[in-house]
Chain A
Amino acid sequence: MIPAQFDYAAPTSVEEALALLAEHGDEAKVIAGGQSLLPVLRMRLNAPGIVVDLGRIEGLSGVRDDGDVLTVGAMTTHAEMLGNPLVAEHAALVTKAVHHLADAQIRHRGTFGGALAHADPAGDMGAPALALDAEFVIAGQSGVRTVPASDFFVDLFETAIGEDELLVGVRLPKHTGWGAHYEKFVRVAHQWPIVAVAATVKAEGGTITEARVGLTNMGSTPLRATAVEQALTGQPATEETVRAAAASAADGTAPPSDLNGDSDYRRHLATVLTRRAVLAAAGG
């Protein structure tokens, strides 16, 4: 319950933070909201030499309308995302998913960037970000680079962010007018999802013209159900067609087995939840 000793730095600029990361290398741990990091430190599963707190850096928070995309500051809290009208209008899938993320207290502290950088495959932000083709804005000593979502999630708790880099923002391409739904399956409310499905679809006259489906906790990273997306395109949004498309939701996945279910059960769940998520997204 008491973390091991660490040094602490609260830089006031991204440059200062990057310099600290460069100086301390793998001894440094970045803290944003801290809602995933602090449990790990309290249980002494990790003992960094120094914790670099991004909380005092101005300008890393908020949602900006940048034309075709929304630019979300990495330090924007989940609660801010939940209540943000721009996100609700142009990236409704995030609004739907963040509503289910952890609990109200955690959403007050936890950040959009932090959750994505933590890259827990059971985290609720990865699948929506992947489904929306988010771009990750990563700052390093040599400048800022942008990584597409498809390259961002590397493995369990591992992303494209380098040891001396910081995630400073996430660009969400606008999906204005798309229906969205996040179908999360848990045994009790305070659990990480056993499986969750993030679906957003564009429908015209009852026909799905485009679909994006992301899967939570179906592998070591968030995954896209591309086979489902393809099967849905151009199809009427009926129970029957969606059921048929959703049957391939678990294709190519490697879900874990744990206390809450084995991998076969998760594969099955993915098909049911995908059907439900897509139908809900198409319906409303």
Chain B
Amino acid sequence: MSDAAPPVAVIRNVTQRYRDVTALADISIELPSGCVVGLIGPDGVGKSSLLSILAGARAIQDGQVMVLGADMADRRARSRVCPRIAYMPQGLGKNLYPDLSVRENIEFFARLFGQSRDEREWRIAELLQSTGLADFADRPAKKLSGGMKQKLGLCCSLIHDPDLLILDEPTTGVDPLSRRQFWDLIDRLRARSAGKMSVVVATAYMEEAERFDWLIAMNDGRILATGSPAELRVQTGATSIEDAFVALLPQAADQDQAEMPARTVLDGSHEPVIVARELTRQFGDFTAVDRVSFSIRKGEIFGFVGSHGCGKTTTMKMLTGLLPPSDGEALIFGRTMEAGNYESRRRVGYMSQSFSLYGELTVRQNLVLHARLFHLPPDQADKRIAELVERCDLADHIDGLASDLPLGIRQRLSLAVAIVHKPDLLILDEPTSGVDPVARNQFWRLLIELSRNDGMTIFVSTHFMNEAARCDRLSLMHDGRVLATDTPDGLIKAKNARSLEQAFIAFLEQDAGVDDGAPVTLTQADPNRAALPRADDDGQRALFSSRRLLAYTIREGLELVRDPIRLLFALFGTAFLMIVIGFGISTDVNNLTFAALDHDQTPESRAYLAELRGSRYFTERPPLADYADLERRMKNGDIKASIEIPPNFGMDIKRGRPAFVSAWIDGSMPFRAETIRGYLEGTHILYLSDPAVKTTQASAASAADITIRFKYNQSFDSIYAMVPTTIALMLALFPAILMALAVVREKELGSITNLYVTPVTRLEFLLGKQLPYVAVALVNFAVMFVMALWLFRVSFKGSMLPLLLGTVVYVFTTTGYGMLISTFCRTQIAALFGTAILTVLPATQFSGMMVPVSSLSGFAQLIGMGFPMTYFRPITVGTFTKGLGFADLGPYVLMLLAFIPVLTTLSLVLLPKQEQ
């Protein structure tokens, strides 16, 4: 590094707070250019915040940050400089798309940087070649191993030839061989760029930091020290960076390494506690665990060492009975842990990878809950909890919520919970990931105590080599297989290695053979390359680029096609609900039950009832005996109406006296009651005009001939209105939900970072994601249209043009509506219910489905007028049932069209281009 070169980044007085947590406390530093700058420190000390600010992904709250000479608080400067920065966020492949193949992932990023097809293909070929991924170009990202995912992430970052590469914990959880290869690759890439490329990297592996040029040690939002690795070691007088870091910590008093007393066999028996024989587990065609065998003796600490996804967790799940093995067997205390084996389970303590605490409970509540569930008698439970609180040093946090605890304390609580019932066997799955070295030491001291003093057998998995070295015996795992099992010293000796890490690498190399682990060759700079313009010179400055927009469209489309559940829901959900609603929601009330209470029993009374019996609307039930019977049967819903004919009915008619019939109608459902009343009155009029009915008096005919003309739907069948309305309803609900989920999914999974740090604009992002769902909605429309014609037999009377035009515009508005809702939702579940509620209510109640909008008043009418379905329902009903054309429906299409700019603008305003 040259002192003359201007710093790659200058940070002045930056402070960053999230609610009441201070992530960065008044940080000021200059990062030298042209070298590898390493940020070291445990999780949660502000490393990621600092890196995301440098990348422009996160908005600066307070202070000033200049990167490559641009002020990162200024939007224009940021968009000018962002094509020169590459950012790989924390979490293996967090900004990648698991359902896309290696090539598709890289293509997506290339399009985001506006690269032409030629340039894209040339660059991708070169990157795949250099990273050794060429053979896996068509493999979905989710099926890559950790090391390959990390290389893919690197390819995606390097596609636009950045000057500054920001890597946030790129190697966490990756096996040591892949880790070494990764850093070799970075070194060669830097060499090729002739030192022009600067790299800023955060890491939790202190050993890795040895190879960086310049280090920043961070703790608790502050910088502890800066300098080269050698300088830091000298400054603290430590031999390793890890020790140097521990020495730099303010509470450095507690730094003695956890010493490992020799194992003393307590009862002399070598009876194994855990035995695994040829244990195998397959998921589909993927073998997660492949014929794993080992046995663990009483009282020993047995380690399982390997990268993420090598099968450690799956093996542990089979041991604990959570997962049935595909083949082989796992015995604990000589028995399998099948579902009913509660006795063995009382002797096992388990701490899963995610710590498995109830975050919404306090420390004490978590402990008490588990004591209760293991049925410790109350007095013993209190004593045991007090003992654990003391032993695990939890007293200061006893009434704090578990979710608010720092990781290290949460981990100790998790251990306390797992051993509350004094188990004989303790199974721990990666108990220390993400915890700082001091906390890790404390934790191991607890484990050693449990093993040596309490005689607990401990089975622990880890990807930290210095932890593995503390086990009595360990198994090295890779790709679902155990490579070797021995004591740490035995393993080192077997490979003549200097350290356990070196030994593991040797075993991995031996396992991989020559091919896979071979160092990848880096192509020399292509002479044509200079001729290729850097994409940012032309495409990237453009305010709008269809190429970037299409990048999102293509990606979203591919993802949708590959997610069977979402696709099935998107395509058949509408069809299913269309059948349900089309057939089920009907206002044609038939089969109404009635019963008669005929006190008269004359030919006249029977003639009156015969009129009802002949109606297609009514079904008669056995006659009523008396009023009590009437009341009872109305109450239990057996009859919906009762007709009472009084004594002397026949006599009154014969004598020309006005006779009366009284009807009781069940009013529990108002609409049905009103309909019954209408039917009864209609039937009554029919009775009066029936020539067969002989009364002594001339029938009084109405003075006018009133005709009711049911326009558009002469038979007045509700299906002719309901089916077109259902099409409008379904196209309001489904596209909105799918769209909202699609945007929030990116927020939840973290790939939204790509919007923050690449040249893609918010408009391109939103429209690009909208197009696939518009297409899905149009397919839905086609399916429902065909269903309406053939399944529901609703004929199409109007013209196609307004319907098609209206539909296209409408699905843009409904997806736009989902887009708007997504801007203020953080989780997918909130997006789902938010959209469902905000769509279903206006769609079913305020858009004319049951009640015409013109009959609504006040607030309801306002909601109705602000909801697109109000303007689309007239188009579907109008074209299907009313037989209308463009002349009548044009204004509705225009109204819908007006929604698009409004919804899009609102979404743009509400969607931030940086994380807040």
The answer to whether A and B belong to the same complex is: no
A→B interface (CB under 8 Å): none
